[in-house]
A = this chain, B = another copy of it.
Amino acid sequence: MSEENQLLTRCLYFTASRFARNMTRLAEKTFEADDLAPTYLYLIMIVKFNPGIRQKELCRKLSIAPSTSTRFVSKLEKRKLVTRTSGGKDTYITLTDSGEAVYSRFQQSLEVLFARYSAILGSEFSTNLSKRLYEASVKLEQNY
């Protein structure tokens, strides 16, 4: 293998961002009917499982910066998919009925996404890779 290829294959920063770009493309295509970028759907999912969640906690679960979460929630609020309730310095986030409906559709799109990448990468391989990435994120976050 050439030196160039070795560097491209070996650097986890590079392989990770590249792979994320590729997966994002696939996810966007799969979710396009929902008219929301994939991350929003994950946000909705988290709120679904944690009604009344605070933004801080949302950030932690999604690994996004607080500013990002503010903007995401604002957009979803504008579309009436979530509501914000201000409780002192915190704000609590809950799904609206439309939000619940979007979540249901999202669940189905998710299965389509799983099927698509499993067909390309293999089911075993995908599950395994996903698990590793999850663990690795947890470790990186603990160290910063």
Contact = CB atoms under 8 A, between A and B. Distances in A.
A63 to B, nearest CB: 5
Interface residues of A, number: 57
B13 A113 contact: yes
Binding site secondary structure of chain A: helix
Given A49-B2, A121-B136, A130 B17 contact: no
A120 B13 CA distance: 14
Nearest to A61: B8
B10 A26 contact: no
Contacts of A141: 22
Interface string A78-118: 00000000000000000000000000000000100110010
A127 interface: yes
A9 B130 contact: yes
Nearest to A65: B21
Contacts of A130: 9-12, 15-16
A35 interface: no
B20 A16 contact: yes
A75 interface: no
B113 A22 contact: no
A26 B18 CA distance: 16
Closest 3 CB pairs of A and B: A20-B20, A15-B133, A4-B49
